[in-house]
Amino acid sequence: MAVTPLLSRRFFKKQFPLFSFYSSFSTTTSSPPPPIRVALTESVGRAVFATRPIASGDLIHTATPTVCHPSSSSARAACYSCLAALPHSQSQGIPFCSQRCHQRSKGYYDVEMKANWVAFNDYCWTRGLKYPFLVKRLVCMVISGDARSDTLDILQPANLTPEMVLKMEEEFLLLRNAFTKALIADEHIAFLTKQWYINILARIRINAFRIELAGGLYEDLLASAVASVEAEAAVGNAVYLLPSFYNHDCDPNAHIIWIDNADAKLKALRDIVEGEELRICYIDASLDRNARQELLSRGFGFQCNCSRCLHGD
């Protein structure tokens, strides 16, 4: 099945303190560390480099989402935690694919279930907004103690226009109201200020990945989707830490795929030598040069100077 790798991403200019990224790896203690290192470069800011030769087709590493959420079209067909397809029989019941997903989601799910989301959901669905759901999930995770409120601070934020900020204020009020009406104690949502909301959304805008599963389950999933207003062709959206540090190239040497859930698999597209920078393509690489430049500039705020673009390809 065709896979559309990621869509949204970011570009680093600022320097951030480097901290441990290993929380985003789904490796176990028995697996070797992934053959990469993240370093700051003068030309492109933060970048990911190979620490040993990697063969074409090899899995470089896997990353679990820091936060993810099903799209509106797969709301009752995908696991609310990992986005794997739910068995048809389960579409009206518990929205988790397994006991494991149910257990690990208990904290934020219990918080979410305390509030009434009708106004917030309607507002976002009618406008086709998907990122506010990632913020809602993150807020529930922070309230339940599953995440820190500064979890995404290390990611580069998008530049926002005053109009964008104005629109975000409405979503923010609906989100905040849902929690205050649910009688969540003030001290638990003290972090949830307008500025916090806008800062998080600015990061999600250019760092969220749009997930399409390659495991052959997605068509089933869409077929069972209930009330899919605009049948968005994605199972959901997610934000990762480490995968966000890969820079863009229109002729990339690595790509991201999702097989049957939101765990991202970074794979080599060709043989990579030790020390080479690993890059992925943020957009559809089959587009022509002008279309690519336009998308990258509008969506990510940079001009691509990869060798393909420099050669006019």
- Residue 280 engages Zn ion in binding (rule: CB under 5 A): no
The first and second tokens of residue 178, run together, are 């849902």
- Least distance (Å) between residue 89 CB and Zn ion: 15
Which CB atom, from 84 or from 141, has the smaller least distance to Zn ion? 84
3-state secondary structure of 185: coil
Q: What is the DSSP string of 19-58?
A: ---GGGB---TTSPPPSEEEEEETTTEEEEEESS-B-TT-
Q: Which of 79, 184, 192, 206 binds Zn ion (CB under 5 A)?
A: 79
Interatomic CA distance for residues 68 and 133, integer angstroms: 9
Strand segments (E) across 190-303: 208-211, 236-239, 247-248, 254-257, 264-268, 277-280
Sheet bearing 208-211, strands edge to edge: 67-70, 236-239, 208-211
**Which residues, numbered 232-261, are part of the site for Zn ion (CB under 5 A)?**
250
Q: Decide if 298 contacts 242 (C-beta within 8 A).
A: no
Q: Which of 77, 86, 97, 281 binds Zn ion (CB under 5 A)?
A: 97
Q: Which of 81, 105, 156, 224 binds Zn ion (CB under 5 A)?
A: 81
Which CB atom, from 185 or from 287, has the smaller least distance to Zn ion? 287
The first and second tokens of residue 195, run together, are 């500025």
Which CB atom, from 58 or from 220, has the smaller least distance to Zn ion? 220
- Residue 101 engages Zn ion in binding (rule: CB under 5 A): yes
Q: Among 80-88, 106-114, 123-131, 262-270, which window interacts with Zn ion (CB under 5 A)?
A: 80-88
Q: Which of 78, 142, 281, 304 binds Zn ion (CB under 5 A)?
A: 304
Quickly list H helices, the chain. 99-114, 118-126, 131-144, 162-181, 194-207, 218-223, 289-300, 307-310
- Residue 309 engages Zn ion in binding (rule: CB under 5 A): yes
Q: Which of 68, 111, 272, 306 binds Zn ion (CB under 5 A)?
A: 306
Q: Among 67-75, 191-199, 236-244, 301-309, which window interacts with Zn ion (CB under 5 A)?
A: 301-309
Angle between helices 99-114 and 131-144 (to 10 degrees): 90
- Least distance (Å) between residue 76 CB and Zn ion: 14
Q: Among 47-55, 212-220, 234-242, 299-307, which window interacts with Zn ion (CB under 5 A)?
A: 299-307
| Interface with Zn ion: number of residues (CB under 5 A) | 10
Q: Count the neighbouring beta carbons within 10 Å of the beta carbon of residue 183.
A: 9
Which CB atom, from 192 or from 262, has the smaller least distance to Zn ion? 262
DSSP state of 213: B
Which CB atom, from 97 or from 174, has the smaller least distance to Zn ion? 97
Which CB atom, from 98 or from 193, has the smaller least distance to Zn ion? 98
DSSP H or E segment with residue 67: strand 67-70
- Least distance (Å) between residue 102 CB and Zn ion: 8
* Per-position x/- string for 31-70, each x denoting binding to Zn ion as judged by CB under 5 A, each - no binding: ----------------------------------------
Place of tokens 């009688």: 183
Q: Count the neighbouring beta carbons within 10 Å of the beta carbon of residue 298.
A: 8
Residues near Zn ion (CB under 5 A) are: 79, 81-82, 84, 97, 101, 250, 304, 306, 309
